[in-house]
């Protein structure tokens, strides 16, 4: 099987060399060292977290349409590993998609180089481990595919862009959950924003804070990297304009809150048009009753650079978590 895969890789690399010679595409060469680290858990208790280059979440893959991406993955876990590139189209090279059955797993102590082209794509995507319930322990990260300069973007260039990877998290070791074969039925312990616990959860653990300047507009790339819970995303006192989802620009609609289901990604524009202060960034679970102080309510902070006060007050309200019709109607409105 390995020899067969090696021949596939040689063929793919040869194709990429030809493609590179005939286009203006760039080659993005990355090296990932994947480890298990107990120091990155969002709680005070030690917990195995899968890191990439000592980062959790993993590093951003920042590419442009038609770029060639090569990721050399060194597996330092004690078990096989695969990565999948959620939403990236694998054209005539499905064995690069990192899914069991089309890709051989990377054995412990070995490495494998993924090579693919982000051909004719734009948008917001994620990557994550695709086998052995390893996603429950981390290993996920953001992917951006930016427009080529010659292609117009249907909205003004934002001041900056932020990746928000939001998802449910369990304090139980992922191998324990795997052994129970009940990962889909266990209620998680927390919802994280970029691997960080909610604001106010712990004085010893950081929370996610995003800095903005009054009057400027920013692009937030929001992805649900969880395994169980959908969530409703909102920012206190701020509207958001949906402009892209999973590789397609959308008709622009203005929302107070946005439902994001497992595996989905959206881009929204947010203008810092409020008084200089700090505001809550919130993600609350769907189909689950919670209180504002629950660790299952993700809380970060939108921090204005001239703010002189800490975030305070009640969390911004969202739709009833059991209102399925709201979620369905919102999804239908995004075209």
Tokens representing residue 6 in the block: 């090696």
One domain for residues 191 and 304? yes
Annotate 40-75 with DSSP letters as a single string.
Answer: G-SSSS---EEEETTBSSPPPEEEETT-EEEEEEEE
Structural domain count, the chain? 2
**pTM for the whole thing?**
0.91
Domain membership of residue 125 as a residue range: 2-146
Q: What is the CATH number of the domain that holds 20?
A: 2.60.40.420
One domain for residues 189 and 227? yes
One domain for residues 180 and 314? yes
| d(C-alpha 146, C-alpha 5), whole Å | 30
One domain for residues 127 and 210? no
| pLDDT tens sequence for the chain (335 residues) | 444 555 544 555 544 444 444 456 899 999 999 999 998 989 888 899 999 999 999 999 999 999 999 999 999 999 999 999 999 999 888 889 988 888 899 999 999 999 999 999 999 999 999 999 999 999 999 999 999 999 899 999 999 999 999 999 999 999 998 888 755 567 899 999 999 999 999 887 899 999 999 999 999 999 999 999 999 999 999 999 999 998 999 999 999 999 999 999 999 999 999 999 999 999 999 999 999 999 999 999 999 999 989 998 899 999 999 999 999 999 999 99
Sequence-distant (≥ 6) Cβ neighbours of residue 123 within 8 angstroms: 87, 145, 244, 245, 246, 247, 248, 265, 267
Q: Which of 146, 169, 185 is the last residue of a domain?
A: 146
One domain for residues 188 and 122? no
pLDDT in tens, 241-280: 999 998 999 999 999 999 999 999 999 999 999 999 999 9
Q: Which of 89, 124, 146 is the last residue of a domain?
A: 146
Q: Which of 146, 176, 210 is the last residue of a domain?
A: 146
Is 99 within a domain? yes
Is 294 within a domain? yes
Alpha helices in the chain (DSSP H): 2-22, 174-180, 324-333
One domain for residues 276 and 229? yes
Task: Please answer whether residues 166 and 260 qualify as being in contact, where contact means their C-beta atoms are separated by less than 8 angstroms.
Answer: yes
Is 152 within a domain? no
One domain for residues 89 and 194? no
Label the pairing between strands 258-260 and 141-146: unpaired
One domain for residues 7 and 63? yes
Is 279 within a domain? yes
One domain for residues 172 and 115? no
Looking at residue 182, what is its pLDDT?
A: 54
Is 308 within a domain? yes
One domain for residues 136 and 176? no
As a whole-number percent, the residues of the chain with pLDDT over 70 amount to: 91
Sequence-distant (≥ 6) Cβ neighbours of residue 220 within 8 angstroms: 161, 162, 164, 240, 267, 268, 269, 270
Task: Please answer whether residues 266 and 222 qualify as being in contact, where contact means their C-beta atoms are separated by less than 8 angstroms.
Answer: yes
Spacing of C-alpha 262 from chain mean position: 10
| d(C-alpha 270, C-alpha 235), whole Å | 9
One domain for residues 198 and 264? yes
Cα–Cα distances in Å, from 217 out to 147, 155, 212?
A: 19, 11, 9
């Amino acid at each position: 099987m390995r020899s067969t895969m090696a021949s596939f890789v040689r063929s793919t690399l040869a194709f990429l060399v030809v493609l590179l010679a005939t286009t203006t595409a760039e080659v993005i060469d990355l090296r990932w060292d994947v480890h298990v680290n107990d120091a990155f858990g969002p709680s005070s208790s030690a917990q195995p977290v899968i890191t990439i280059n000592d980062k959790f979440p993993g590093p951003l893959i920042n590419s442009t349409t038609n770029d060639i991406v090569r990721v050399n993955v060194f597996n330092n876990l004690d078990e096989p590993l695969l990565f999948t590139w959620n939403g990236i189209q694998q054209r005539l090279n499905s064995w690069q998609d990192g899914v069991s059955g089309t890709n051989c797993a990377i054995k412990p102590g070995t490495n494998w180089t993924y090579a693919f082209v982000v051909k004719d794509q734009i948008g917001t995507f994620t990557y994550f481990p695709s086998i052995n319930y390893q996603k429950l322990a981390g290993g996920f990260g953001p992917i951006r595919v930016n427009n080529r300069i010659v292609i117009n973007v249907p909205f003004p260039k934002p001041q900056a862009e932020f990746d928000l990877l939001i998802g449910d998290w369990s304090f139980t070791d992922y191998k324990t959950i795997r052994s129970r074969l009940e990962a889909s039925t266990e209620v998680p312990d927390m919802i994280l924003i970029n691997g960080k616990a909610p604001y106010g959860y712990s004085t010893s653990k950081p929370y996610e804070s995003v800095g903005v300047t009054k009057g400027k507009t920013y692009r937030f790339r929001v992805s649900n990297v969880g395994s169980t819970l959908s969530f409703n995303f909102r920012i206190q006192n701020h509207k958001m304009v949906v402009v892209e989802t999973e590789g397609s620009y959308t008709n622009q609609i203005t929302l107070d809150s946005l439902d994001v289901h497992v595996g989905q990604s959206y881009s929204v524009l947010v203008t810092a048009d409020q008084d200089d202060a700090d505001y809550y960034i919130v993600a609350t679970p769907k189909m689950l009753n919670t209180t504002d102080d629950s660790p299952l309510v993700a809380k970060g902070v939108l921090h204005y650079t001239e703010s002189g006060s800490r975030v305070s007050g009640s969390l911004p309200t969202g739709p009833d978590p059991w209102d399925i019709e709201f979620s369905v109607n919102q999804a239908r409105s995004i075209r």
